[in-house]
Amino acid sequence: MQTRFTPEQLKDPDTASSEAVIRKCVHCGFCTATCPTYVLFGDELDGPRGRIYLMKEMLEREAQPTAEVVLHIDRCLSCLSCVTTCPSGVNYAHLVDHARAYIEDRYRRPWREGLLRGLLAWVLPHPGRFRLALALARAARPVRRLFGSGPLGAMLSLAPGRAPPRPAVERQGPAAPKGRVALLQGCAEPVLRPEIREATVRLLHRAGYEVVFAAGEACCGSLEHHMGRKAAGLAAARRNVDAWTAEIEGRGLDAIVITASGCGVTIKDYGFMLRDDPAYARKADRVSALAKDVCELLAGVALPPMAAPTPVVVAYHPACSLQHGQKLGDVPARLLRDAGFEVRTPVDAHLCCGSAGTYNILQPGIARQLGERKVQALEELAPDVIATGNIGCAVQIGLGAAAPVAHVAELLDWASGGPEPAAMRRQAAGSTGRGGRRSTM
Ligand code: SF4
Ligand code: SF4
């Protein structure tokens, strides 16, 4: 795409980066057919090519964002399916992140929307606040129908029907470890599904790794980053870079292991996000280079003996952040097959389930449609369990699925001697927690 940015505009590093992205786009439109929102709406402006055009016009003219532009950018899931499809190597992620920050700085949202976004950014990255919010949501569940199908109703539906247990992580590692890894603690996952971290630690111990939690590390910043809150996203990135750098320069790290693939995409991008900060650029690059999804790490090491305890059919849902963001789509499925599970994948595996960070709260109607399509496709595979590698997908799919939803690490832990995944145990015990639907949380 031709651009007309002035030399003065291109002195801004974000504008220079976006110009380079836009110029790579050759208008071919291959990306539109694989874009979930284009599939739903059939509108060019709800596909990647149309959005690139809108962003180019807005950034080039330094225009005040219009409600129409904001609508189409807000509807983008940042699923990055378009990046996988694009033959020209267009880095849509960096462009849309820049556009979101531009909109956040210049666009005045209706007060309710602004309040909701502010509330999400204040609550979700902080486990203590998030735990309290979930307790309030549970108390409000009996009257949740009064909140309708908008963002508040969506928030109440997404909250688990039971109080999640507190994490109980085994600290005793192997006597003679072959390596030392830091496991991301993050924010939402340990509150919603602490059993994922417990299973991952057991699995890594069995694979011969000492597992540490870096002091001072917390939310990776992606929730705020993808809402256009650039300063908050960068502050989270710097805090985590400091925490992991202390470990790297102390006793050393072989990897930074991540179990939530959405966080993995952002941490692998810290080097880019902090490229213009002389105090952090080099350290952030080093952290990004060490970041690995748990399945990515396990695929490259000698694993403990694995054997699925019973014949189990697994419907594998590759999270967008894993398949499009990290290009690791088939790695977890391969690990599960090697462990003895029968793995099936849906025909529309490339399409987003509608979770996408805070998307299922901010765009509940679209998220619901995508979630229902995804659940139907997964359940057609007649699974005993649905597996995924991202907490957001697990919650979104768990809303409608009859089968339990487990993290890939929980299944691998089970196959190598750990307990059956908690969601499967709960279902076997016949627990219910979602007003008639079976609880997967
Ligand atoms: S990131 Fe996903 S929703 Fe956004 S334009 Fe690309 S394919 Fe469409
Ligand atoms: S596939 Fe790539 S080059 Fe083609 S229109 Fe989409 S973003 Fe542009």
- Residuewise pLDDT in 10s, the chain (441 residues): 999 999 999 999 999 999 999 999 999 999 999 999 999 999 999 999 999 999 999 999 999 999 999 999 999 999 999 999 999 999 999 999 999 999 999 999 999 999 999 999 999 999 899 989 888 888 877 766 666 667 767 667 666 666 555 555 556 788 889 999 999 998 889 888 999 999 999 999 999 999 999 999 999 999 999 999 999 999 999 999 999 999 999 999 999 999 999 999 999 999 999 999 999 999 999 999 999 999 999 999 989 899 988 889 999 999 999 999 999 989 999 999 999 999 999 988 999 999 999 999 999 999 999 999 999 999 999 999 999 999 999 999 999 999 999 999 999 999 999 999 999 998 888 754 433 334 344
Residue 438: in which H helix or E strand, if any?
Answer: strand 437-438
Q: Which residues are within 8 A (CB) of 229 and not within 5 positions of it... i.e. 6 or more apart?
A: 101, 104, 121
Q: Rounded CA gap, 322 and 296, in Å?
A: 10
Q: Tell which one of 18, 22, 23, 28 to mutate to probe ligand 2, the residue whose CB is within 8 A of the most ligand atoms.
A: 28
Residue 58 backbone dihedrals phi, psi, to 5 degrees: -65, -45
- CATH code for the domain of 374: 3.40.50
- The verdict on residue 207 lying in a domain is no
Cβ of 25 closer than 6 Å to ligand 1, yes or no, is no
Query: And the tokens for 54?
Result: 């809108």
Query: And the tokens for 216?
Result: 């001072």
- CATH code for the domain of 94: 1.10.1060.10
Q: What separation in Å is there between the alpha carbon of 54 and the centre of ligand 1?
A: 14
- pLDDT in the model for residue 406: 97
- The verdict on residue 282 lying in a domain is no
Cβ of 30 closer than 6 Å to ligand 2, yes or no, is yes
Query: And the tokens for 85?
Result: 């499809």
Q: Where are any strands of DSSP class E within 253-320? A: 255-258, 291-293, 313-316
- pLDDT in the model for residue 86: 97
Q: Whose CA is nearest to atom 8 of ligand 2?
A: 25
Residue ending a domain, choose from 84, 106, 128: 106
- The verdict on residue 198 lying in a domain is no
Closest ligand 1 atom, CA of 48?
5
Residue 335: in which H helix or E strand, if any?
Answer: helix 331-338
Residue ending a domain, choose from 55, 75, 106: 106
Distances (CA, A) of 303 to 46, 71, 212, 300: 44, 47, 19, 9
Q: Whose CA is nearest to atom 7 of ligand 1?
A: 35
Closest ligand 2 atom, CA of 28?
4
Residue ending a domain, choose from 106, 140, 174: 106
- pLDDT in the model for residue 329: 80
Cβ of 26 closer than 6 Å to ligand 2, yes or no, is yes
Task: Judge contact between 211 and 203, C-beta under 8 A.
Answer: no
**Structural domain range at position 64:** 9-106
Q: Rounded CA gap, 378 and 348, in Å?
A: 9
- Total domains in the chain come to 2
Q: What separation in Å is there between the alpha carbon of 40 and the centre of ligand 1?
A: 12
Cβ of 4 closer than 6 Å to ligand 2, yes or no, is no
- The verdict on residue 296 lying in a domain is no
SS (H, E, C) 177-202: CCEEEEECCCCHHHHHCHHHHHHHHH
Q: Whose CA is nearest to atom 8 of ligand 1?
A: 35
- pLDDT in the model for residue 440: 40
Q: What separation in Å is there between the alpha carbon of 94 and the centre of ligand 2?
A: 15
Q: Where are any strands of DSSP class E within 276-341? A: 291-293, 313-316
- The verdict on residue 264 lying in a domain is no
Residue 217 backbone dihedrals phi, psi, to 5 degrees: -80, 145
- The verdict on residue 113 lying in a domain is no
Q: Whose CA is nearest to atom 5 of ligand 1?
A: 48
- Residue linked to tokens 């030392």: 180
Q: Which residues are within 8 A (CB) of 42 and not within 5 positions of it... i.e. 6 or more apart?
A: none
The answer to whether the pTM exceeds 0.85 is yes
